[in-house]
């Protein structure tokens, strides 16, 4: 019974996500069931987070019944729309790809390999420092505070970064919706799900796009990487950020590859969720908001452009309303900011920039249980072997995004002198690497094996 | 890009070999790490300081803020961990460091004498002391 109470919210979220995918695609999209499953899971969990937040926005506290009713209504509306479409327009109820033998094998491999994540969670059941200090603390606070939930932004709680967005805590609150009190099993399940759908999406998207079975190597590369496991099973929001960043960019690439603008509805949705995960998400969404329309303008045929831009901006607008409301009406200012360019006491100096750049270099080549042990070398080697094909138009969004994002991150480390740079880099740069790893790995493998197929 | 099939095959073989080396190196570090950690977990339960505050949660649940007075440095990881995990366990109650202006106050001092001296000074009543030597005291509202 307890297990049923714990997994039901996640099942409902997956059903909402998969239902919505069926509604978006009127013809069968060129993605496998496993890819659709991973995209649908992320979509459904993001929607659940938004629906849960509506309770706080409209009746100023968590009302479990209202949240459940909102979910059931949303799911019911999707099912009604699918039935209507099926009867009136003669479009099949299920337009996604059926489950194939490859999907079953892929899912089995993922489930077996995710055992390493479970072992790590068994070792640290309450997660890392920021799990109890920030993410799970916020979830617990939101779940139990009643009408006082806005105390979560109180300056006394500066240790929990009150300005951080609430997507992950709200997913956990939704996960507890059938429980009387918060349990750490739910936060662990959320972590396992995001690990599975992130690595599953890299693997299945590569498999769909390159048709190479070597794409399964990414499952081993990630699930056997001790540093990745430590970071991704720590119950932090970084694996969630990784997923939405990758999913958003992947759907944009699928749109170019398959000339199907409906993928842009998903890109907009995932970028909306991305901006509700962490402050880095605002930055990433902002960069992609400039790059994506630019690439669309260059690569899409003239008659398709209005439709593509309408789908992208329409969806992004819709899914950015909640992050916007949070950012401008609730989130307090970031108090951990000192502008080193104007500060007399903590100025930005040349040695600070040197420290930042040398740290990047050192971090990439670090070996040990707290090191990447050659993962970045594999990626760099793969990119070098792929040659100029890494700049082909369908994946151009990735290098453009990476250049801009890393540039902005470096500038932020340089300009914000609030923290001692050595300590700050040591606790935060590995998480930035984690958030970029899925998209860079995909870029490397896709460039390499797409080349082999031509 | 050279499309010579032999070059393509060489490149693919080289890339796959590098990937397998990387997986092998990672396994070399992962297996001992998991072994040591799992053995440690088998020997004793996970140490989570939050549990030391569970028993007082019901008593405190009507309060939005409570004090957490200490003579320890909360910037030190050990003391910071205790404070942060107490905050986690007692959420949505907010712990206000070094504040005596609340109904309930935790006293995390190096010596009980020092804590009791302050408790007496503010005419509070000590209720519970947990295994971390942290005393919970209640101050009657009319004293402040």
Residues B20, B38 within the same domain: yes
- The pTM score is 0.94
Q: Residue A357 pLDDT more than 70?
A: yes
- Is beta strand B65-70 parallel, antiparallel or unpaired with respect to B94-97? parallel
Burial of B19 (0-12, 13-18, 19+ CB in 10 A): buried
Per-residue HEC secondary structure of B28-97 comes to HHHHHHHHHHHHHHHHCCCCCHHHHHHHHHHHHCCCCEEEEEECCCCCCHHHHHHHHHHHHHHCCCEEEE
- CA–CA gap between residue A405 and residue A397 (Å, rounded): 12
Q: Are B68 and B90 within one domain?
A: yes
Distance between CA atoms of residues A282 and A208, nearest Å: 30
Long-range contacts of B23-26 (CB under 8 A, 24+ apart): B23/A217, B23/A220, B23/A221, B23/A224, B25/A367, B25/A373, B25/A374, B26/A221, B26/A224, B26/A225, B26/A226, B26/A373, B26/A374, B26/A375
Residue B3 pLDDT exceeds 80 = no
Question: Which of the four pLDDT bands, split at 50, 70 and 90, describes residue A300?
Answer: confident
Sign of CA dihedral B101, B103, B108, B112: positive
Q: A424 to chain B nearest CA, in Å?
A: 15
Residue at token pair 């605002």: A282
Q: In A25-114, which residue ranges form alpha helices assigned H by DSSP? A: 33-59, 64-88, 101-113
| Dist CA A119 CA A250 (whole Å) | 30
Q: How many domains does the structure of chain B reveal?
A: 2
- Please give the angle made by the CA atoms of A214, A206 and A216, to the nearest 5 degrees: 35
Query: pLDDT of B46-104, one tens digit each?
Result: 788 999 999 999 899 889 999 999 999 998 999 999 999 999 999 999 999 988 889 99
- The answer to whether A30 and A208 have CB atoms below 8 angstroms apart is yes
Residues B63 and B42 in one domain: no
B18, A377: Cβ pair inside 8 Å? Answer: yes
Judgement on whether residues B58 and B40 belong to the same structural domain of the protein: no
Q: Does residue B25 sit at the A interface (CB-CB below 8 Å)? A: yes
Chain-chain contact of A137 with B11 (C-beta, under 8 angstroms): no
Sheet holding B65-70, edge to edge: B94-97, B65-70, B104-108, B135-139, B124-129
Does residue A43 have a cis bond before it (omega within 30 degrees)? no
Instruction: Give the end of a domain, one of B26, B46, B66.
Output: B46
Question: In terms of CA atoms, which chain A residue is nearest residue B44?
Answer: A123
What's the pLDDT band for A453 if we cut at 50, 70, 90?
A: low
> In this complex, is the C-beta atom of A56 within 8 Å of any C-beta atom belonging to chain B?
no
- Mean predicted lDDT score pLDDT of chain A: 93
Q: Which residues of B touch A137 (CB under 8 A)?
A: 87-88, 91
Q: Are A27 and A95 in contact (CB under 8 A)?
A: yes
- For the cut 60, the answer to whether the pLDDT of residue A446 exceeds it is yes
Following DSSP, what letter does each residue of A346-365 receive, concatenated? Answer: S---HHHHHHHHHHHHHHHT
Measured CA distances, A442 to A15, A209, A218, A439, B71 (Å): 27, 11, 9, 5, 51
Q: Could you tell me if B48 lies within 8 Å of chain A, comparing CB atoms?
A: yes
Is there a single domain that holds both residue B39 and residue B59?
Answer: no
pLDDT in tens, B118-132: 999 888 899 989 889
Same domain, B133 and B76: yes
Tokens of B110: 């190096």
As a whole number of angstroms, the distance between CA A230 and CA B87 comes to 24
The pLDDT of residue A199 is above 80: yes
Consecutive H or E run containing A188:
helix A184-210
Flag if B34 and A214 touch (Cβ within 8 Å).
no
What range does the domain containing B24 cover?
A: 1-46
Beta strands in A101-216 (DSSP E): none
> How many angstroms separate the Cα of A393 from the Cα of each of A267, A361, A447, B24?
17, 29, 11, 34
What confidence score (pLDDT) does residue B109 get? 92
Interface of A with B in 173-212 (CB under 8 A): none
> Which parts of A365-420 fold into alpha helices (H)?
375-386, 397-415
Place of tokens 């506290």: A61
Same domain, B32 and B101: no
Q: Are residues B24 and B74 in the same domain?
A: no
pLDDT digits (tens, 9 = 90+) for A98-129: 999 999 999 999 999 999 999 999 888 999 99
Residue B125: CB partners within 8 Å, gap ≥ 6? B119, B137, B138, B139, B140
Q: What pLDDT sits at residue A105?
A: 95
B29 and B40 housed in the same domain: yes
Nearest CA in chain B to A370: B29
Q: Same domain for B42 and B53?
A: no
- Please report how many Cα atoms fall inside a 13 Å half-sphere around the Cα of residue A187, on the Cβ side: 32
pLDDT at residue B143 tops 60:
no
Of the residues A227, A374, A386, the best mutation for testing chain B's interface (the one with the most B CB atoms within 10 Å of its CB) is A374
pLDDT of A91 reads 87
Q: How far apart are CA A30 and CA A443, in angstroms?
A: 19
Q: Could you read off the pLDDT of A366-420 as tens digits, one per residue? A: 888 889 999 999 999 999 999 888 998 889 999 999 999 999 999 999 999 988 9
Q: How many alpha carbons lie under 13 Å from residue A176 in its C-beta half-sphere?
A: 22
pLDDT tens, A219-267?
A: 999 999 999 999 999 999 999 999 999 999 999 999 999 989 999 999 9
User: Which of B1, B14, B22 best tests the A interface by mutation, with the highest count of A CBs <10 A?
Assistant: B22
Q: Is B17 on the interface with A (CB under 8 A)?
A: no
- Residue pair A316/A268 in contact (Cβ under 8 Å)? The answer is yes
- How many angstroms separate the CA atoms of A196 and A190, rounded? 10
Q: How confident is the model at residue A282 (pLDDT cuts 50, 70, 90)?
A: very high
| A226/B33 CB distance under 8 A | yes
B10: contact with A, CB 8 A cutoff: no
More confident call, A53 vs B128: A53
Q: Are residues B108 and B67 in the same domain?
A: yes
Name the band, by pLDDT with cuts 50, 70 and 90, for residue B2.
Answer: low
Q: How far apart are CA A181 and CA A179, in angstroms?
A: 6
Residues B55 and B119 in one domain: yes
Paired residues of B139 in beta bridges: B124
- Cβ-Cβ contacts under 8 Å, A151 against chain B: 64, 92, 94
């Amino acid at each position: 019974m307890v297990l049923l109470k714990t997994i039901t919210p996640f099942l409902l979220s997956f059903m909402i996500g998969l239902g919505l995918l069926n509604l978006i695609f009127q013809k069968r999209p060129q993605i496998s069931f496993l890819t659709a499953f991973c995209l649908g899971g992320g979509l459904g969990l993001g929607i659940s987070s938004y629906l849960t937040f509506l309770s706080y926005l409209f009746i100023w506290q968590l009302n479990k019944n209202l949240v459940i009713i909102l979910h059931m209504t949303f799911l019911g509306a999707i099912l009604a729309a699918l039935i209507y479409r099926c009867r009136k327009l003669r479009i099949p109820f299920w337009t996604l790809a059926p489950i194939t033998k490859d999907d079953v094998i892929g899912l089995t491999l993922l489930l077996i390999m995710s055992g390493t994540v479970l072992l790590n969670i068994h070792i640290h059941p309450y997660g890392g420092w920021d799990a109890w200090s920030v993410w799970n603390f916020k979830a617990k606070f939101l779940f139990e505070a009643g009408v006082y939930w806005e105390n979560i932004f109180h300056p006394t709680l500066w240790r929990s970064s009150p300005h951080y967005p609430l997507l992950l805590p709200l997913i956990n609150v939704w996960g507890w919706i059938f429980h009387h009190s918060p349990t750490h099993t739910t936060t662990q399940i959320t972590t396992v799900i995001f690990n599975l759908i992130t690595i599953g999406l890299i693997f299945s998207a590569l498999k769909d796009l390159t048709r190479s079975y070597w794409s399964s190597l990414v499952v081993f590369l990630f699930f056997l990487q001790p540093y990745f496991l430590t970071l991704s099973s720590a119950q932090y929001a970084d694996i969630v950020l990784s997923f939405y960043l990758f999913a958003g960019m992947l759907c944009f690439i699928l749109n170019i590859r398959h000339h199907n603008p409906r993928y842009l509805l998903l890109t907009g949705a995932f970028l909306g969720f991305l901006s509700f995960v962490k402050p880095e998400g605002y930055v990433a969404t902002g960069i992609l908001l400039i790059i994506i329309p630019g690439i669309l303008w260059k690569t899409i045929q003239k008659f398709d452009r209005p439709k593509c831009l309408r789908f992208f901006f329409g969806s992004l607008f819709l899914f950015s309303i909640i992050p916007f409301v949070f950012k401008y009406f609730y989130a307090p200012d970031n108090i951990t900011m000192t502008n080193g360019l104007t500060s007399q006491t903590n100025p930005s100096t040349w040695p600070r920039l040197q420290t930042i750049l040398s740290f990047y270099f050192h971090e990439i080549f670090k070996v040990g249980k707290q090191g990447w042990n050659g993962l970045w070398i594999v990626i760099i080697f793969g990119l070098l072997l792929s040659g100029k094909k890494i700049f082909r138009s369908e994946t151009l969004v990735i290098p453009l995004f990476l250049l801009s994002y890393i540039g902005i991150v470096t500038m932020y480390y340089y300009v914000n002198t609030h923290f001692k740079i050595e300590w700050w880099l040591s606790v935060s740069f590995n998480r930035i690497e984690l958030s970029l790893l899925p998209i860079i790995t995909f870029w490397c493998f896709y460039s390499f094996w797409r080349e082999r197929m031509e | 890009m050279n499309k010579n099939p032999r070059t393509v095959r060489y490149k693919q073989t080289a890339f796959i070999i590098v990937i397998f080396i990387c997986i092998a190196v990672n396994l070399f570090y992962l297996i001992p790490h998991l072994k040591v950690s799992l053995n440690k977990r088998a020997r004793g339960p996970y140490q989570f300081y939050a549990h030391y505050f569970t028993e007082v949660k019901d008593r405190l649940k009507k309060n939005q803020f409570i004090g957490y007075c200490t003579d320890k440095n909360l910037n030190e990881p050990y003391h910071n961990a205790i404070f942060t995990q107490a905050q986690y366990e007692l959420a949505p109650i907010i712990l206000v460091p070094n504040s005596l202006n609340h109904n309930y106050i935790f006293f995390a001092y190096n010596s009980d004498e020092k804590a009791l001296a302050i408790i007496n000074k503010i005419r509070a009543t000590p209720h519970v002391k947990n295994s971390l030597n942290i005393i919970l005291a209640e101050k009657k509202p009319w004293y402040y």
